[in-house]
Structure 1
Amino acid sequence: MPESPPRREPALVRHLARITDTTLAVLTLVFFVAVALATGVHNPWDGAIQLGAFLGALLLVRRRWPMTVLLLSVAGIFVYHLTGHWPPAGWIWPAAVAYFTAATTPHVRWVAAIGVAQLVYSGFDARWLIERNLPRYLIHVIGEGVLLAILVAAGVTYAAALRWRERLRETDRRAHAAEERLRVSHEVHDVIAHTLAVVGVQLNVAADALDEEDPAAAAEALRVAKDVRNRAMADLRSLITVLRDGPEGTAPQADLSSLDALIEDARAGGLKVTLDEDGDRAAVPAVTAIAVHRVVQESLANTLKHAQASEARVTIGYGPRSITVEIADNGRGVPDGAEVVEGHGLAGMRERVSALGGTLTAGPAPGGGFAVRAGIPVAGSTA
């Protein structure tokens, strides 16, 4: 399948992200100024408000340029302290959000290196505290080191969680695609089996007619075979498109509106088919309708190929909660005591019906011949 374009976040998610970044920007300004005042700054307009506004403004673009935001934040903090402002206002925490955001990128080693460099300079800058107040110095350096480690670890963990969630989404997409391909494979089998059965019968009829020097009958048989083949090719083109490109834009699959064409194909193959319907076929949901169509199609194809039958009866009951389908023929059936050997056709029908919560049985009919019976819940019903 072609590579899908980058997934764009929903509008609500983008809106919430903007609100979050704006809130963090305001909190950074307010908190930095408050801490500066609490640690001895008398005039907040002497650098504190300007740096707080600068750090907050950077957070508005942190998602687009995380490493740039981190470097500019660290540079702003250095300029602030190197111009004579005492560092109790902090070295690491004013850039906490920038460190966390940058740590979610693949450049986490550079983030750690920048943080360590900032910590080393912070410890060097406060070295005069060692003689005056060693516990305070240790708290200052170790505390900021622990904060840096927490921020980097949180960023790495958050990024890993996002990657894991994306892998789960991709796994779900792949599983859905596999299920779709399996469904399409059943559809392909049903179409091919039905087409080969009807076309094979018509070619035999044409050959016999030519032997009997009846060109009109041979031409009619070939016309029927051509019509069946053309319908099958249209179905197969739609199904192959699903396998190649995915389900988007494919033509609708065969449903109950095509039942009459199925019956006519079987009759053209020499099988006398009677269709009995009870209820309104138009009220059947699409998913259930496709399953009913495929059960009838595969059953008639099997009858034409294997049963050596002359007659078949298709009985369908359209109930409000479930659909009952029975296809019975007067062919050779199964010898007494012998087990029914399920080929791909019966197995595919059973899987299709089971996937919708229904049941399917196949075996000798009471009066002779072979019968397929299916009960399929109506999609969306509470049955």
Structure 2
Amino acid sequence: MTEAPTRREPAPVRHFTRITDITLAALTLVFFVAVALATEVQNPWRGPIPLGLFLGALLLVRRRWPMTVLLLSIGGIAVYHLTGHWSPPGWIWPAAVAYFTAATTPLVRWVAAIGLAQLAYSAVDARWVLDRNPARYLIHVAGEGLLLAILVAAGLTYAAAMRLRERLRETGRRAHAAEERLRVSHEVHDIIAHTLAVVGVQLNVAADALEEKDPAVSAAALRLAKNVRNRAMTDLRSLVTVLRDDPAGTAPQADLASLDTLIADTRAAGLEVTLDEHGDRAAVPAVTAVAVHRVVQESLANTLRHAGASRAEVTIGYRPRSVTVEITDNGRGAPGGADVTEGHGLTGMRERVNALGGALTAGPVPGGFAVRADIPVAGSTA
């Protein structure tokens, strides 16, 4: 029979349990001393007070060695009784705490066995009551048996509740990790889509320049493609870290401060882009800023890949309780005004905005195509 391993609790919980155990130990000693003085026990320092000290000290380590504390508590009470002392009225309290604590461990069968052995000893020890008052004897034995059953059941219930709480915590951690991985998959898609769009345009420029025997233009296009690729690889390395078990060390995500670089890359790819901002971008919290950046990034990538546009306008309005993002271009919309078929990019944008309580619309407008997102500011009551 070995002690059950104890799980390390957070510091505030450990401090509370330590204070609780010290309080129980102090109350045990005070109770034994009070009973000894009230009943005018002769030489209390040779009887109940040492027993109170012993049982109180055991309560201080009951969580670390629950079965050892139970055995020593019951053994100490038995030795005290066998040496000719009457059982002090307060012994049931520390013994009950020891039974409950031990019953919360996987060694509950041993706890029941110890309890049954003590119950049998108590029944034999009180046999003199049987001849004088059978009803009192029955109540005595049945009461101790009922108390033992209640203590074991309470310990089992408490242990089951703690296991359930831990499972719920683990389920919550796994759900959060799954949500984080889904978010990261959207981030990866946005980065790759934008990078491939810009790099693809620059490679076409480089190829055309080579055919026209203009190496300077070709070299400039290839350098820009390389720079965009390098920035994308840095972002991807930081995001892939989140997909591992330990997300520590993850680099900051793209935010509003990266919009200027994003716009510059898109302009270099041949798309004339204007950025019009209203309000204070510094007041936007990080989670909203990331969503704004990704909406602009994916929209411009779609414009480069599919729209055949030459011009795009990005308008962002920062308000205290929401951010409005609108990207319009002069490219071709769906043929004949048909409904837009959403790909992974548009679906990812919509899911990202919806997750923050916002709304996203996308579709043809006179003269081109428009994407609009209304995103509440995290923490606002709007």
Give the TM-score band, short-chain normalised. Answer: over 0.9
Q: Is this contact kept in 2: 1:32–1:52, CA < 8 A? A: yes
The CA RMSD measured in Å over matched residues stands at 2.1
Aligned mates of 2:327, 2:173 — CA distance in 1: 37
- Over residues 256-289 of structure 1, what are the superposed CA-to-partner deviations in whole Å (9 max), with x where a residue is unaligned? 1111111121122221112222223223222211
1:209-224 equivalences in 2 (<5 Å): 209-224=209-224
- Normalized against structure 1, the TM-score is what? 0.92
Q: Which residue is equivalent to 1:208?
A: 208
Tell me the percent identity.
Answer: 82
Question: SS at 2:314's partner residue?
Answer: strand
The change in CA–CA distance for 1:378 and 1:351 in structure 2 (over 3 A counts) is same
Q: Give the unaligned 5+ runs of structure 1.
A: 1-5
Q: Alignment length, in residue pairs?
A: 377
Q: Is this contact kept in 2: 1:92–1:148, CA < 8 A? A: no
Aligned mates of 2:237, 2:193 — CA distance in 1: 16
Question: Partner amino acid for 2:368?
Answer: G
Aligned mates of 1:72, 1:29 — CA distance in 2: 17
The change in CA–CA distance for 1:141 and 1:233 in structure 2 (over 3 A counts) is same
Question: Partner amino acid for 2:136?
Answer: R
Question: SS at 1:327's partner residue?
Answer: strand
Q: Which residue is equivalent to 1:15?
A: 15
Aligned mates of 1:372, 1:193 — CA distance in 2: 17
Q: Give the unaligned 5+ runs of structure 2.
A: 1-5
Q: Which residue is equivalent to 1:256?
A: 256
Question: SS at 1:336's partner residue?
Answer: helix
Q: Is this contact kept in 2: 1:92–1:115, CA < 8 A? A: no
The change in CA–CA distance for 1:129 and 1:7 in structure 2 (over 3 A counts) is closer
The change in CA–CA distance for 1:29 and 1:283 in structure 2 (over 3 A counts) is closer
Q: Is this contact kept in 2: 1:198–1:301, CA < 8 A? A: yes
Q: Report deviation, 1:294.
A: 0.5
User: Are 2:308 and 1:308 aligned?
Assistant: yes
Q: Which residue is equivalent to 2:3?
A: none
Question: SS at 2:317's partner residue?
Answer: strand
- Normalized against structure 2, the TM-score is what? 0.92
Question: Partner amino acid for 2:376?
Answer: P
Q: Report deviation, 1:42.
A: 5.6
Question: Partner amino acid for 1:218?
Answer: S
Aligned mates of 1:40, 1:99 — CA distance in 2: 30
- Over residues 242-263 of structure 1, what are the superposed CA-to-partner deviations in whole Å (9 max), with x where a residue is unaligned? 1114443211111111111111
Q: Which residue is equivalent to 1:322?
A: 322
Question: SS at 2:371's partner residue?
Answer: strand
1:1-383 equivalences in 2 (<5 Å): 8-32=8-32, 44-87=44-87, 89=89, 94-366=94-366, 368-383=367-382
Aligned mates of 1:363, 1:149 — CA distance in 2: 70
Q: Is this contact kept in 2: 1:93–1:144, CA < 8 A? A: no
Aligned mates of 1:79, 1:7 — CA distance in 2: 33
Q: Which residue is equivalent to 1:3?
A: none
Aligned mates of 1:296, 1:337 — CA distance in 2: 23
Aligned mates of 2:260, 2:90 — CA distance in 1: 81
Q: Report deviation, 1:222.
A: 0.8
The change in CA–CA distance for 1:90 and 1:292 in structure 2 (over 3 A counts) is closer
Aligned mates of 2:11, 2:48 — CA distance in 1: 36
Q: Report deviation, 1:378.
A: 2.0
- Over residues 284-309 of structure 1, what are the superposed CA-to-partner deviations in whole Å (9 max), with x where a residue is unaligned? 22221111110000000001111111
Q: Which deviates further from its counterpart, 262-271 or 107-116? A: 262-271
Q: Report deviation, 1:334.
A: 1.2
Q: Is this contact kept in 1: 2:362–2:372, CA < 8 A? A: yes
- Over residues 121-161 of structure 1, what are the superposed CA-to-partner deviations in whole Å (9 max), with x where a residue is unaligned? 11122223222221221122111111111111111111111
Aligned mates of 1:305, 1:252 — CA distance in 2: 27
Aligned mates of 1:36, 1:117 — CA distance in 2: 28
Q: Report deviation, 1:376.
A: 1.3
Question: Partner amino acid for 2:151?
Answer: L
Aligned mates of 2:166, 2:20 — CA distance in 1: 22
Question: Partner amino acid for 1:369?
Answer: G
